[in-house]
């Protein structure tokens, strides 16, 4: 169980207030990537940031992680700036392009967070993670010997190595084929259920969001902003059968319509 300071009123895990992000393109020209984004994410929640490309969902994730600073507005993770979380090595991050070190083995890659945090590598924990993502027997393989799906599993295992307080996933399965992607969705759901870590995942797949998230934050483009939030009240564990339910279809239609409306509004003058 995740605990905030005992007795204190339960604060949000992540608090975004009036976040704006602008990039300078050329002299005197800026691109507004995010406009007035505010959101509150609770402890142990699984949030999906859903939107078309260019809606700033990856930028928002990078701001939450502290990789980028907002132009205006504030981000607080556990009541502190994200940089604090990084300094304390309490953040897990999985990238779209697995970002495994090609010269290191599976086990060494999973152990990397220990080394960077200057903590003695917990071999038992590494073994446990290898097993968790179903790669037992591949500890000494190098990334290039693995399939795309296996690499992504290693990346997820690595992001969980130090039992982070916050897990950020930037389209972790975006580069995979549909079949592998679906399989890893179910596996991530299982892993998440076991760890219960607060998770924010960027995706542009409606199905992925529905299979994994407690709540979907739907984002729109030009400028990137939050359109609405949708609670996903599908019972867990979600399986292939869940996808055949009426509720799944309803939610799916609702999300598709929301994304579509935003798009049509832009096309019309």
Partner 1 sequence: MKRSLRLIQSIAGAVILCALWEVLGQTKVLGPSLPALSTVLGTLFAPNRAKLFTTAISATALSAALGLLIGGGSGALIAGARQTISWTRPGLDRFAALIHAIPQVAIAPVMVIVFGRAGSPIAVAAIAAFFPAYAASTRAFAAAAQSHQDLFTVLGSSRSARLLRLDLPAALPGLADALKLAAPGAVLGAVLGEWFGAPKGVGILILSSSQNYDIPLLWAGALVSTLMALVGFGVFAAVQNAATRRLT
**Which residues of the chain form contacts with partner 1 (CB under 8 A)?**
62, 65-67, 86-89, 91, 93, 95-97, 99, 101-103, 112-113, 115-117, 144, 168
CB of 100 to partner 1, least distance (A): 9
First vs last Cα of the chain: how many Å apart? 51
Min. distance of Cβ 189 from partner 1 in angstroms? 23
CB 139 within 8 A of CB 130: yes
Q: How far is the CB of 41 from partner 1 (least distance, A)?
A: 17
Q: How far is the CB of 224 from partner 1 (least distance, A)?
A: 19
Q: How far apart are alpha carbons 165 and 77 in whole angstroms?
A: 10
Q: In terms of CB distance, is 173 or 248 closer to partner 1?
A: 173
Q: Which is nearer to partner 1, 28 or 144 (CB)?
A: 144
What SS3 class is residue 44? Answer: coil
DSSP assignment string, 76-134: EETTB-HHHHHHTT-EEEE-SS----TTS-HHHHHHHHHHHTT----HHHHHHHHHHTT
- Report the distance separating Cα 169 and Cα 225, nearest Å: 19
Give me the least distance between CB of 101 and partner 1, in Å please.
Answer: 7
**Residue with Cβ nearer partner 1 (114 or 248):** 114
CB-wise, 88 or 122, nearer to partner 1? 88
CA atoms of 39 and 53, how far apart (whole Å): 20
User: By C-beta, is 101 or 193 nearer to partner 1?
Assistant: 101
């Amino acid at each position: 169980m995740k605990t905030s300071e005992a007795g204190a009123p339960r604060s949000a895990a992540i608090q975004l207030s009036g976040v704006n992000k602008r990039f300078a393109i050329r002299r005197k020209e800026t691109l507004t990537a995010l406009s007035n984004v505010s959101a509150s994410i609770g402890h142990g929640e699984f949030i999906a940031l859903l939107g078309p490309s260019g809606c700033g969902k990856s930028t928002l994730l990078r701001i939450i992680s502290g990789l980028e600073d907002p132009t205006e507005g504030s981000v607080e993770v556990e009541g502190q700036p994200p940089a604090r979380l990084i300094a304390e090595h309490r953040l897990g991050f999985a990238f779209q392009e697995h970002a495994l070190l090609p010269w290191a083995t599976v086990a060494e890659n999973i152990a990397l967070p220990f080394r960077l945090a200057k903590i003695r590598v917990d071999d038992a924990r590494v073994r446990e993670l290898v097993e968790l993502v179903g790669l037992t027997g591949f500890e000494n393989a190098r990334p290039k010997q693995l399939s795309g799906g296996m690499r992504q599993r290693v990346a997820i295992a690595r992001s969980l190595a130090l039992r982070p307080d916050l897990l950020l996933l930037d389209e972790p399965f975006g580069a995979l084929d549909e079949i592998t992607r679906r399989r890893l969705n179910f596996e991530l759901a299982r892993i998440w259920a076991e760890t219960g870590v607060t998770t924010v995942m960027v995706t542009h797949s409606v199905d992925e969001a529905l299979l994994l998230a407690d709540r979907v934050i739907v984002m729109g483009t030009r400028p990137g902003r939050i359109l609405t939030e949708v609670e996903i009240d599908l019972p867990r564990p979600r399986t292939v059968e869940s996808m055949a339910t009426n509720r799944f279809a309803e939610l799916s239609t609702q999300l598709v319509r929301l994304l579509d409306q935003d798009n049509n509004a832009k096309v019309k003058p």
